Amino acid sequence: MPDLTNNIVSYKNDTLIENALSPLKKIVSLIDKSNLSFQQNDIKTTLDYLNEAWMIFQGTPSVYSHELNALILYRFVQIYFKKQDFKKLEYFSELLLDVSQKIGDTEKEVTALTNIGITRSVFSDYKTSMPMFVDALEKSRQLGLRNNAANCLINIGTIYANLFNYEEALNRYNTVLEEYQDVLIETTHIAIHLNIGNLYYASDQYKLSLDFFKKALASAQNLNKKNYAAHAHALMSRTYLALYHLPKAIQSAHLAAEYMSQIDNAPGRQINLLNLAQITFLEEDTEGSSEMVLRGIAAARRAQDDASELRGFKLFSEILKKEKNFERALRCQMIYSQKQEDYLKMQRNMHILDYEIRYALRDKERKIEELTKEVRYQTLLIDRNSQIEKQNEQLRQANEELQQFAYITSHDLKEPLRMIGSYSQIIQKMFAHLLDDDSRLYFKFINDGATRMNGLLDALLQYATIGKADLELEPVQIADIIIIARSNLKLIIEETDTNILCGEMPTVKAIPSFLVQLFQNLIGNAIKFRQENNRPIILINAEEKNNDWLFSIKDNGIGIADEHKERIFVIFQRLHHRNKYEGTGIGLSICNKIVTQLGGKLWVESEPGRGSTFLFTIPK
């Protein structure tokens, strides 16, 4: 039980505390006492304590607490359920529903819903009871209250059975048997089997109905539950009669009668009396059967079993006819017709009600489904977003680390490298007179290696710094960029007599220094990878493509085989030995990084021996 004394902490004024404390204390102690007597199954004393607590609670507005209220009401509901006092049960369940919803106590809400459902069912108000059970079922499932979920399903099934909707009823009972077997108490299990048997009987599927009655009978006998066994026998006998299986019908009816003689108010009594009446009639004992049928009809009335009453009148009129008591037979026939008409009318009304209920439920179910879908979708979306955010963050961190790594290595490696280079030169100079040709060659290797490594580190540094700056894009005229790139490559252009033809160039938003690097690398490669004895010709073009500018740098060089077209963009990937073509294998990866940073793409189209075209886009 929650610590209710906490509720008074907020009272500032001492006298208020005093005033509030005493009724609160009294209520709590009364609830405690009622709990105790409830556990001892002393319903009367429990009720006395509860009523007293309830009175104090209602008379003292200052202690008003929904939790406390829910606690008292919950106990009332339990008590009146036990007492099967449906009027009071309904009253307190409705109060409990209200307050449990206010405090968001779903478990108590489920109790309230279920009990309102039960009371309304008892008063045959299926239209109200059905949605209560459906709601309670849904919530019980969510909360994992399997016991309650099973009860709700059984109640829903029974309502459907009362509405003559056998299919829906069977569906619910079967679900209970399939999914909730473990929480069913034995007698409930038997009752469900009997109900299913009855449903099959009502839909003229006698063989199936017998199967279920037999199952029920077996369990009842196992548990020595005479009333259930009696009921099962009676129902079996009725089914055998429908199948014209007289010996078996007789056997079952006699067994049922034997059980019934041992217990008061056996369920299915009216059914068995009519079975016996029918059997005696078939045995041509009209006198015996007319006595039995009258007893059967009376019992059916007491049990408010309309179907049996109808069966009784039908049989009785046949008996009277057989007795040639035509006047009475006619009167009986008229009563039967009237009753049958009433019964059919009732059945029709139930069908309509069933339709209305299912229509309303479908609406409700649709709303629930939509809501669940939406919640599921939203959760999925949130999950996805947070996943993406997490991945982005990881990616960003990894990128940053990589950049830092590359920057630090290239920076910090250059210093020791410079030392290697300069000291080897000093040694070479100092001992120049002692060096033979081989030694001089070895020194050349050292110097070349140092220079090459220096070049690699420069390129690495360049690569690392591309992503470093926070990009502040500015309008850049590409024509100007090309002029700068060309002037940086002036020497090699002149040396190789390269012809560069340039179309009209746009202005784009970018970082000028990066674009110079980009064009310079691509033009530089176009010259470097020229064909021997062939004057390099480079065509540079730009065209609008949807939301992008598409640039192309086309050469007449050696070209690139298909299988290499992807890997040349990977850092340090080269296709040739540096003896043939100098380089570090970083140029294109830098180009790729620059274009990607601007939101574009870089690729190559080429044919070995016929030249290459490097293409890239830059968003407008």
Sign of the dihedral through C-alpha 174, 177, 178, 183: positive
SS3 618: strand
**Residue 118 or residue 523: which is nearer to ligand ADP going by CB?**
523
Q: How far is the CB of 508 from ligand ADP (least distance, A)?
A: 22
> What's the min distance (Å) between Cβ of 504 and ligand ADP?
23
DSSP-assigned beta bridge partners for residue 611: 607
Residue with token string 């196992």: 222
Residue 528 Cβ, how far from ligand ADP at the closest point, in Å? Answer: 6
Phi, psi of 125 (to 5 degrees): -95, 75
Distance in Å, CB of 461 to ligand ADP, minimum: 15
Query: Minimum CB separation from ligand ADP for residue 535, in Å?
Result: 15
**Which residue, 74 or 514, is less far from ligand ADP as judged by CB?**
514
Q: How far is the CB of 532 from ligand ADP (least distance, A)?
A: 13
Q: Which CB, 241 or 586, lies closer to ligand ADP?
A: 586
Residue number with CB closer to ligand ADP (288 or 449): 449
Q: Which CB sits closer to ligand ADP, 512 or 585?
A: 585
In this complex, which beta carbon is closest to ligand ADP, that of residue 20 or of residue 571? 571
Q: Rank residues 57 and 569 by Cβ distance to ligand ADP and give the closer one.
A: 569
Q: How far is CA 181 from the centre of its chain?
A: 24
Q: Which is closer to ligand ADP, CB of 587 or CB of 600? A: 587
Pick the closer one to ligand ADP by CB: 34 or 525. 525
From the CB of 420, what's the least distance to ligand ADP, in Å?
Answer: 23
DSSP string, 347-407: HHHHHHHHHHHHHHHHHHHHHHHHHHHHHHHHHHHHHHHHHHHHHHHHHHHHHHHHHHHHH
Output the smallest distance, CB 498 to ligand ADP, in A: 12
Contact 110, 74 (CB under 8 A): no
Rg (CA), the chain: 47
326: phi then psi, degrees, rounded to nearest 5: -65, -35
Nearer to ligand ADP, 268 or 583 (CB): 583
Which long-range contacts (C-beta less than 8 Å, at least 24 apart) are formed by 354-362? 354/160, 354/163, 354/164, 354/165, 354/168, 356/127, 357/126, 357/127, 357/130, 357/163, 358/165, 358/168, 360/127, 360/131, 361/130, 361/131, 361/134
* Beta strands at 537-545 and 499-502: parallel, antiparallel or unpaired: parallel
Report residue 200 as tokens: 């099959």
> Look-up: residue for tokens 């049989």?
315
What is the closest distance, in whole angstroms, from the C-beta atom of residue 557 to ligand ADP in the complex?
4
Residue 427 CB coordination number (10 Å): 13
Closer of 163 and 594 to ligand ADP (Cβ)? 594
Q: Which two tokens stand for residue 587?
A: 């140029």
Residue 538 C-beta: closest distance to ligand ADP, Å: 9
CA distance 552 to 554: 6
Ranges of beta strands (E only) in 12-89 are none
Q: Is 176 or 568 the residue whose CB approaches ligand ADP more closely?
A: 568
Angle in degrees, CA 85, 86, 91, rounded to 5: 105
Instruction: Classify residue 500 as left (phi > 0), alpha (psi -120 to 50) or beta.
Output: beta
- Nearest 5°: the CA angle 395, 396, 399 is 85
In angstroms, how far is CA 470 from the centroid of its own chain?
Answer: 42
Q: Smallest gap, in angstroms, from Cβ of residue 574 to ligand ADP?
A: 4
Residues of this chain that interact with ligand ADP (CB under 6 A) are 521, 525-526, 529, 555, 557-558, 560, 568, 574-576, 583-589, 612
Q: Rounded to the nearest whole angstrom, what is the least distance from the CB of residue 611 to ligand ADP in the complex?
A: 7
- DSSP tag of 606: E
